[in-house]
Amino acid sequence: MSKHLNRQDKIRNFSIIAHIDHGKSTLADRLIQTTGLLTQREMKDQILDTMDLERERGITIKLQTTRLVYKAKDGEEYILNLIDTPGHVDFTYEVSRSLAACEGAVLVVDASQGVEAQTLANVHLADMQGLEIVPVLNKIDLPSARPDEIKHEIEEVIGILAEDAPLISAKDGLNIEDVLEAVVHKVPAPNGDEEGPLKALIFDSYYDSYRGAVAIVRIKEGQVKKGTKIMMMAAKKVFEVVEVGIFIPSAAPVEVLKAGDVGYITASIKNVIDCRVGDTITEAERPAPEPLPGYKKAQPMVYCGIYPAEGESYDVIRDALEKLQLNDAALTFEPETSVALGFGFRCGFLGLLHLEIIQQRLEREFDLDLIATSPSVIYRITKTDGEVVMVQNPTNLPDRQSILTMEEPIVDAHIFCPTEYVGNIMELCQNRRGVMLSMDYLDAKRVRLHYELPLNEVIYDFFDALKSKTRGYGSLDYEFKEYRESDLVKLDVLLNKDLIDAFSMIVHSSKAVSRGRVICEKLKEVIPRHQFAVPIQASIGSNIIARETISALRKDVLAKCYGGDISRKKKLLEKQKEGKKKMRQLGSVEVPQQAFLEVLKYDDSK
């Protein structure tokens, strides 16, 4: 036993948590570099964020994990497993699972900006997993850095000791070793029973076309090696292990993974659905009496239609969605048809960011041109004949006469923000039909608001509104609470008198008129003028509730075109042609793809 403990004594499993932009990924890169895993030349900026999209948006979507070997000042060699976490509320569950794989978390705080909303939300998550939090002050090289004040702030606001927090500059590689030392000395070593029944937490998975679904795991108890018959406790599926290994940072096979280790397991698992984040892997022949706590099945909360843009193929989109789904068990899709847009797919997502990310990955990684329709939540409709139907596409809403009641999903939302923005937040939530349950002052400067919000109010632009109303300091966390009866109507949009089903949405009746008005205004801005006047109308049933008109185009001609103009004017017309190609013919009206995005934007000033 003591021998085992000795082995685990040299292991530290930790994550890095931070407010966005406080330097999480840069620090991760430095840790990798300092422990000599990669040479300077091999370093790409921010190794752990593998997708271009992530690097661009500065957020981590898919987790990466890597094993560092560090020779500490005490002369001992330690194995440090760095587990990266995604950085968005849509992925709170994924964050909580990866934190559950750790014993500690390095909390990166910007030495000039101090503790911010997301810092608190992350600390809260880490706290719930009982992690040891190791504060680090980053960007110490900036002239505006004020380490002493920020240390004090960390102690005051978060309530952890920060006196000897390392002062670093991840960008310049300053004092990185202090962070490694702090991890070694402060993060507890794992102490799982290596001989007990296997308990491995899947905190991430990905699909490899040769090896099938790969589970990324933290072994909590027991051990696993090639040939072990394993069972997924929630999925209730049995597989035989083909390979186990570690990330250095690329996958490298090892003979065995034991309690305390972080690594991967492959077992010819054909489907990522059988390898869900949060599930516990145990031995089929000697199963653990109960799984590790906290498993939840990923449940789509938001749906939207995804259609090929002009000239794009339906089949290519299906192939792309299938490929993405291999890696993303939370993504669902099925074929659907729209009068306006033809054949497409109804896709389900964890939240709006997840939706945006999938959309952008389809566009970038697969080079597809798409149209996404208004996102929708799932409504529960009870018909007069007693039948209950779940509707996530407004077009499928039964007609009004046959509806007895409509219910919409309500979420429990926690918003963190500095006290000066409380008024703004309350106004925003009130506009979004929120009901305040409580308000807690975490200290003199920070507040946590607890609201009930209808999910269909959250999916329209709520994050952007929250950010703009709190100058970026507000953060949001929500989870599904219940279905609740609500006075909902279907809002339709007509272009030149034709109902465009792709714009239809379900809204609360109190919001219908203002929403209709905003949509008509936005469409008026983005739809170019035609040779005829184009009326834009919003309606509920046959009742027109808002209207705008795009005046007819009178002129589309270049005044002059002589020798010196020809090249330039030709390019101008080519551009016009390109723009036209991107238009979508809806009824008699040509609509730019941008229009589909514009109708999603909620204008909270109206």
Partner 1 sequence: MSLGLYVHIPFCRSKCYYCDFCSMPDLSRRVDYLDALEKEVQLHAARYGRLMPETIFIGGGTPTLLEDQDWHRLSRLFERFFDLSSLSEWSVEGNPESVNLALSKTLKSIGVNRFSMGVQSMDFSLLRAIGRIHSPEEVTTAFNALRQTGFDNINLDLMTGLPGQTLSAIDETLSWLKQFDPEHVSAYGLKIEEGTPFDRMERQGLLKLPEETLEREMDHRIREVLRERGYQHYEISNYAKPGRACRHNLNYWNCGSYAAIGLSAHGYLNGVRYENTSDLNRYIHDLSHETLPVISEEAISPQEDEKEWIMLRLRLSEGIPYSQYQARYGKSFLNEKKTAIEKLKGTGWIDLQKEHLRLTEAGLDFANAVIVEFFE
Site of interaction with partner 1 (CB under 8 A): 531, 553-564, 566-567, 569-570, 573-574, 576-577, 580
Distance CA 104, CA 172 (A): 25
Name the minimum Å distance from CB 200 to partner 1: 58
Q: Which is nearer to partner 1, 147 or 528 (CB)?
A: 528
Q: Which is nearer to partner 1, 52 or 565 (CB)?
A: 565
Distance CA 259, CA 189 (A): 11
Name the minimum Å distance from CB 536 to partner 1: 20
Burial (CB count <10 Å: 0-12, 13-18, 19+), residue 450: middle
Q: Which is nearer to partner 1, 404 or 553 (CB)?
A: 553
Distance CA 119, CA 442 (A): 13
Of 211, 219, 213, 187, nearest to 78 (Cα)?
187
Q: Which is nearer to partner 1, 128 or 561 (CB)?
A: 561
Q: Which is nearer to partner 1, 128 or 572 (CB)?
A: 572
Name the minimum Å distance from CB 315 to partner 1: 24
Element (DSSP H or E) covering residue 511: helix 509-526
Name the minimum Å distance from CB 597 to partner 1: 25
Distance CA 276, CA 291 (A): 13
Q: Which is nearer to partner 1, 34 or 496 (CB)?
A: 496
Q: Which is nearer to partner 1, 383 or 569 (CB)?
A: 569
Name the minimum Å distance from CB 583 to partner 1: 12
Of 521, 537, 534, nearest to 602 (Cα)?
521
Name the minimum Å distance from CB 408 to partner 1: 44
Q: Which is nearer to partner 1, 69 or 561 (CB)?
A: 561
CB 65 within 8 Å of CB 250: no
Element (DSSP H or E) covering residue 116: none
Name the minimum Å distance from CB 585 to partner 1: 11
Using the 8-state DSSP alphabet, how is residue 431 labeled? H
Distance CA 218, CA 263 (A): 7
Name the minimum Å distance from CB 560 to partner 1: 6
Of 67, 75, 76, 73, nearest to 31 (Cα)?
67
Distance CA 593, CA 370 (A): 8
Burial (CB count <10 Å: 0-12, 13-18, 19+), residue 564: exposed
Name the minimum Å distance from CB 371 to partner 1: 22
Q: Which is nearer to partner 1, 531 or 542 (CB)?
A: 531
Name the minimum Å distance from CB 554 to partner 1: 4
**Amino acid in position 548:** E
The SS3 assignment for 552 reads coil
Q: What is the 3-state secondary structure (H, E, C) of 455-474?
A: HHHHCCCHHHHHHHHCCCCC
Q: Which is nearer to partner 1, 525 or 565 (CB)?
A: 565
Of 552, 46, 510, nearest to 249 (Cα)?
46
